Amino acid sequence: MSEPEIHTPTERGLLPEDEDPSIGLVLEAEAAQAKLEADSVEPEQELLTVNMGPHHPATHGVLRLVVSLQGETVLEVKPVLGYLHTGIEKSCEDKSYWKVIPFVERMDYLSYFFNMEAYCGAVERLLGIEIPPRAKYLRVLHMELNRIHSHLVWLGTSALDLGAISMFWYCFRERDRVLDLFEMSSGQRMHTRYFQVGGVFEDIPVGFAERLTAFCDEMPSRIDQYEALLDRNEIFLHRTKNVGIVSKERLLELGVTGPLLRAAGEPWDLRKVTDYLAYKDFEFSIPVGTVGDGYDRYRVRLQEMRESVKIVQQALEGMPEGPYLHDDRKYVLPPRDELSTSMESLIHHFKLVTEGFRVPPGELYYSVESPRGELGCFVVADGSSKPARVHFRDPSFVNLQSFRDMSVGGYIADMIQNLAMLDPILGGVDR
């Protein structure tokens, strides 16, 4: 066996070369403060180091921010991670492939369908199976509903951070309707385990289409209402416009993806760039911003919700007939009724439930466009029924690197706004 190559973070493309790889992760507050005092601050000026979090109303989970303040101005900010580290990636190595699915759902807990798709898609590609068209449509439908749901949570909590408390309830009212739909199709409101290797768990039930149509008809007008509350509000515009601008080049250097990058004017969206699931069948556009400030990020996400509604409508209308699950019994559980008639099925069922299916050796990276950016799953298979390694490229984690660039030099209130518009999910950051 050859010597394993050692990759530094720079080579992996996580950080630009001139950047200290430890920035954005953990740095001792005292060292940074001493450096700051030597560099930029007059000796008589005092710096206030505030430790925000891990339990703080506005850190969206358990993010800890070590902030050096001069008055109300942020001189240095260091996100400290790890308070929600659950060892999911490591635990996945100890589970058979089909048992990993509910695990990975729980990382980025607002985009569980995307986590499932990234993982299931990677395993399917390793196995070399193509899921049926209906399953593709069902997956797209649920993922786009999930995107709406995730953006609604983002909008509600961000508005709450800016002090517009009522938005939170309006957004959660609509979010509940999305969750009702999830409950209808999969039996669960969150962490549905609806996708599985080879397709989806179940077909959509009777009555689902009607409720989904009603929701899709109503949602655009709801988004109009959110805009009426926020977009025409002078205070909101003052708080978000020209705040937290990071240049497109810098964002690309940092590997930032998703609405943050699109708000800066780069129309990078994996749904258009790569060809996965059935996205090429649908008409939708990629909203982009111009300046890349908080307001653009807000506009881009709001527009994305409208586009998602369009995709959901198209997916429902053009839903092809046919199976929703691959019929290769080596990987997919046979239907219940076959068990009493077919010995083959019984054996497959027994093998799949006890040992699970085996995946031929190999490694594969598969990425999807999650509500926060490129969500990639890297699976290494060693031929057994358990993955040798599961690693996720979580957009929250990568995007969080741009937080310092957004916030340094601004006000502390802007820092909170930047964090809200960044929309990190700590479950995804720490994994």
Partner 1 sequence: MLLGEVDFVESTGVMVVKSVLIFIGVFLIVPVLTVVERKLIGRFQARYGPNRVGPGGVMQPLADVGKLLGKQVFRPENAIAFLYAIAPGLVILSGILTLAIIPFGNVEDGVGLYGIDVSIGVLYFFAFSSFAFYGLLLAGWASGSKYSFLGAMRSAAQLISYEVSMGLALLGVVMMAGSLSMTSIVEAQGSIWYVVPQFVGFLIFMISGFAETNRSPFDLPEADAELVQGFQTEYGGMRFGSFLLAEYLEMFVVSGIAVTFFLGGWMGPGPPWLDPVWVVVKILSLIFVFIWVRATLPRVRYDQLMSLGWKVMLPLATLNVLVTAILVTVL
Rounded distance between C-alpha atoms, residue 52 and residue 145, angstroms: 33
- Smallest gap, in angstroms, from Cβ of residue 238 to partner 1? 6
Shorter beta-carbon distance to partner 1: residue 73 or 188? 73
Shorter beta-carbon distance to partner 1: residue 66 or 148? 66
- Smallest gap, in angstroms, from Cβ of residue 74 to partner 1? 10
Shorter beta-carbon distance to partner 1: residue 41 or 229? 229
Rounded distance between C-alpha atoms, residue 378 and residue 425, angstroms: 20
Cis peptide bond prior to 43, omega within 30° of 0: no
- Return the SS3 of 189: coil
Rounded distance between C-alpha atoms, residue 219 and residue 427, angstroms: 28
Shorter beta-carbon distance to partner 1: residue 135 or 412? 412
Residue whose entry in the numeric block shows the structure tokens 């039930």: 205
Nearest to 361 by CA among 341, 384, 334: 384
Which residues bind to partner 1, rule: CB under 8 A?
Answer: 48, 50, 56-58, 69, 72, 159-166, 168-170, 173, 229-230, 233, 235-236, 238-239, 411-416
Burial of 235 (0-12, 13-18, 19+ CB in 10 A): exposed
**Dihedral sign computed on CA atoms, order 301, 303, 309, 312:** negative
Rounded distance between C-alpha atoms, residue 222 and residue 1, angstroms: 59
Residue 207 phi, psi dihedral angles, 5° rounding:
95, -15
- Smallest gap, in angstroms, from Cβ of residue 217 to partner 1? 19
CB neighbours of residue 362 within 10 Å: 14
Shorter beta-carbon distance to partner 1: residue 60 or 271? 60
Largest separation between any pair of C-alpha atoms in the chain:
86
- Smallest gap, in angstroms, from Cβ of residue 417 to partner 1? 8
Under a CB-based contact definition with an 8 Å cutoff, are residues 332 and 197 in contact?
A: yes
- Smallest gap, in angstroms, from Cβ of residue 261 to partner 1? 25
- Smallest gap, in angstroms, from Cβ of residue 130 to partner 1? 45
- Smallest gap, in angstroms, from Cβ of residue 245 to partner 1? 16
Under a CB-based contact definition with an 8 Å cutoff, are residues 394 and 428 in contact?
A: yes
- Return the SS3 of 73: strand
Q: List beta partners, residue 49.
A: 68
CB neighbours of residue 173 within 10 Å: 12
Question: Amino acid identity, residue 122?
Answer: A
- Smallest gap, in angstroms, from Cβ of residue 234 to partner 1? 9
Shorter beta-carbon distance to partner 1: residue 105 or 414? 414
Shorter beta-carbon distance to partner 1: residue 263 or 415? 415
Shorter beta-carbon distance to partner 1: residue 20 or 234? 234
- Smallest gap, in angstroms, from Cβ of residue 236 to partner 1? 5
Shorter beta-carbon distance to partner 1: residue 127 or 153? 153
Shorter beta-carbon distance to partner 1: residue 50 or 339? 50
**Dihedral sign computed on CA atoms, order 12, 17, 22, 25:** negative
- Smallest gap, in angstroms, from Cβ of residue 369 to partner 1? 29
Crossing angle for the helix pair 294-317 and 133-161, to the nearest 10 degrees: 150
